[in-house]
Structures are given as C-alpha cells and as structure tokens.
Amino acid sequence: MIASPRHKVLPALDKLGVFIAIGLLATLGFAPLMVFRANRIVLGETVDIAQAMPPGPMVVLLASIGVAGVAALLKTSAMMRLIASLAAIAVLAWVVGVSASFLVEGADAVARASPASGFWLLFGIFALMATDALTRMDPKPSLRIGLVLLAGLALAAFLASGIWDDLSVMREYENRAGSFAREARRHLFLAFGSLFMAALAGIPLGILCHQVRAVRGPVLSVLNIMQTVPSIALFGLLIAPLSWLSTELPILRAIGVSGIGAAPAFIALFFYSLLPVVANTVTGLAGIPANVSEAATGMGMTERQRLFSVKLPLAFPVILTGIRIVLVQNIGLATIAALIGGGGFGVFVFQGVGQTAMDLVLLGALPTVTLAFAAAVIMDALVDIMRPSGVQKGSQ
C-alpha cells in the first residue's frame, strides 16, 4: 500500500534524548538558577533565569539549551551531541559568573551569589548527555585523556579570566587562598602517598599470595576485615597506639608522627588501599593462560624470568585497575582525615558544615570531586593503553 504524500514522516527520536529534553524544560520552568544572600550564612532568595542576568546572556543561554535539547532529542551523530553538550556547559559556566556579578552589583560587600538547583540540574543533564555521546563514540584512550586535559585548560582559563570572582565560593577561596594551597598539598600527599606505599607493599604481597596458596586465604581474609571497618572508626583506633609510639620513640615524634594529624590518616588509607591492590594482583596473575607459562618454560626461562618478563606484564592491566580503584577511593576518603587533624579538602567541608556555610563546603567538595573524576578517566584510559592488543575491554 502506497502512503499518501500528505503524510509526513516524523523524525526519529532518541529515547534518552526524550528524557533529557523533558529535564531541560522542567528545569527552565521550575528550578531557580541562582541564590542571592545578604551575607554568607543566611538562606537567601532564589532567582530564576529571567531575573538572574541581563537579556543578552539570557538569550545566549536559552539558545545553547535549545540547540543541545534538539541535538539530544533527535537521533543525531554522537559527535554532534558531544559538541552541543560541551558548548552548553561552557555557556552555562560563563553565564553563572555573569549572573553573580549582575546580582551583587551595587550590594554590600558581604553579599553573596551562588548557583542554585537550576544550575546544578542543567550541568548534570549536559554532563549526562556528554557522557552518553562519549559512550556511543567509544573514543580511544588518547582522546579521553585529551578531553580531560582540555577540560582542565578550560577550567584554568575561567579561573584566570576572573569571570567567577563574584561567585560566593570564589570569595571563600579569596579569604583562604593560603590555607587552600596547603590543604591541597596535604590532600594530594594523603591520596597519592598512601597509594604509592600500598602499591609498593601490595604488589609483592599479591605475588606471594599467588605463588603460595597457603598464604592467600589468610592474607585476603585479614585485608577484607580491614576493608569493612568504617573509616572514622579506623582513624580513631589508630590514635591510641600512635600516641603511645610517639611518646616512647622520640624519633617518631621528631618526624611528626602522633595520635592525631596526618600519620593516622596516612596509615588508615594505606590499610584501605591494600585489598584492591593485592586482590587484583592475584587475579591478574591467575588469569594468565597456562599455555603462555608453558611456552615461556619451553623457551628456557627461569621462574624469575617468567614472572617479570611474561606474567607481570600480562597481569599489569588488571593490577592497574586495582590501583585505579584505590586512587579514586583515597581521594574521597582523604576528606575524612580532617576530622582527626589530617588536613586536606575536608577541612573546608567540615568548617562549612559547622558554620552552615554551603559555599565553604563547596570549596572543599568541588576540587575533591573534580580530582576524583579526572583520576578515574585518566586511569581507565591507561588501563586500556596497557591492555594487550586483541584483548577486548572488560574481558579480563
């Protein structure tokens, strides 16, 4: 049967795009874009898009949202969806700075402007759209790392331009610039230092567990028990023994080891890091095909040569996956270290909670989340780079 020429063929709609478009419309219709406060601790008043900025930026924002919404709704190419979502995120980042300056202009010096639920919802929707586009594209590891570096450069450009200077979180940063740099160094030391020590101890321990089966069960059981202990409880359990050791051994006290501070936080993160490293080392070595080991033996390799020249290189992607888990985990857990004087970004989080100052909480939370996300993407890309050719992702 021939269709009538009067009947028009409707464009194909993307299933996820329908939800994205609905989310955008609902956010524009009901969620405020900004919050204006007379000072840093009062609740403040929500401001919608129409009152949050001059007409020019509002038109640009609405246009970018419209283009991204249409790109998501229709079955467009993954590249087009990615470009539209990233462009919308960039416009949103610019607009939030413009809105902050617009709202605090002429107000008292203590007045604050910060993003409201509408901003975070829009950012989350566009981030979901970008992530979906990247999943469809299945980009090479080098492209993923490049996108992270590009995002870092864009973030640095926004910070250097001063467009965000009137945002409340940036005013919190201005008041604590010196301490922020110090706590950032402490956070990185706790996260990366404990990871380095865990890899240094965990990989040899994993090799031992693989080669000596009698050791594997007890070691993994002990590490599993450590993993189940809540982080705050483990921090507390370390206070008494470290206090005693620092009292009995002056050399430990001289290098800064005490019951509170960075030492118990570092040790606790080290303990938490061991299980993923050891378990993935055992799994990676156990997953090597038997014929590979037999071929290496047939070539006259010794056990040591087979381990370092054949087994460990083949198991390294799985080991690196464990290290990736540890790194992301430690970046988050290092925030809790502030409760026992360990420093890190958690200092601002808990100060903000105590002062009911959400922007101070964000000063600690945003860099933590950003650092964890960047670490996860880069480490995932490195795992794919190290995976032997011909081995599909997720097959190990």
> Higher model confidence: residue 241 or residue 71?
71
- Smallest CA-to-CA distance from 92 within 56, 67, 126 is with 126
Give dist(CA 139, CA 57) in Å, integer: 33
| Integer Cα distance of 222 and 59 in angstroms | 60
Q: How confident is the model at residue 195 (pLDDT cuts 50, 70, 90)?
A: very high
DSSP state of 337: G
Render pLDDT for 346-391 as a digit per residue (tens, 0 to 9): 999 999 888 878 888 999 999 999 999 999 999 999 998 887 664 5
Q: Residue 9 has what pLDDT? A: 56
Structure tokens at 163: 């467009």
pLDDT score of 44 more than 90? no
User: DSSP label at 110?
Assistant: T
Contact 43/101 with Cβ under 8 angstroms?
no
CATH number (3.30.930.10, 3.40.640.10, 1.10.3720.10, 2.30.31.70) of 175-386 reads 1.10.3720.10
Burial of 40 (0-12, 13-18, 19+ CB in 10 A): buried
Mark out the alpha helices in 105-230 (DSSP H runs): 117-137, 141-161, 168-175, 177-188, 194-211, 213-228
**Phi then psi for 13, rounded to 5 degrees?**
-105, 145
pLDDT bucket at 394, cuts 50 / 70 / 90: very low
Supply the mean pLDDT for the chain: 86
- Which one is predicted more confidently, 261 or 345? 345
Q: Spell out the domain ranges in the chain.
A: 15-138, 175-386
* Distance of alpha carbon 348 from alpha carbon 214, whole angstroms: 46
Amino acid letter at 29? G
Q: Please give the share of the chain, as a percent, with pLDDT higher than 70.
A: 91
What would the two tokens of residue 155 be?
A: 């973030």
pLDDT at 172 over 50: yes
Question: CA-to-CA distance for 126 and 86, rounded, in angstroms?
Answer: 7
pLDDT of residue 31: 92
The single residue listed with the structure tokens 């900025």 is: 53
Q: Using alpha carbons, list the distances in angstroms from residue 205 to 62, 220, 324.
A: 56, 10, 18
pLDDT tens sequence across 220-257:
898 888 888 877 777 777 777 777 766 767 766 665 66
Residue 239 CA to residue 235 CA, distance in Å, equals 7
Q: Is 393 exposed, middle or buried (0-12, 13-18, 19+ CB in 10 A)?
A: exposed
Confidence of residue 326 (pLDDT cuts 50, 70, 90): very high
Which residue is associated with the tokens 């270290």?
337
Question: What is the largest distance, in Å, between two alpha-carbon atoms of the chain?
Answer: 94
Q: Within its chain, how far is the Cα of 242 from the centroid?
A: 31
Between 183 and 295, whose confidence is greater?
Answer: 183
CA–CA distance, 12 with 73 (Å, rounded to integer): 9
Q: How far apart are CA 233 and CA 217, in angstroms?
A: 25
Strand locations in the chain (E): 34-37, 45-47, 112-115
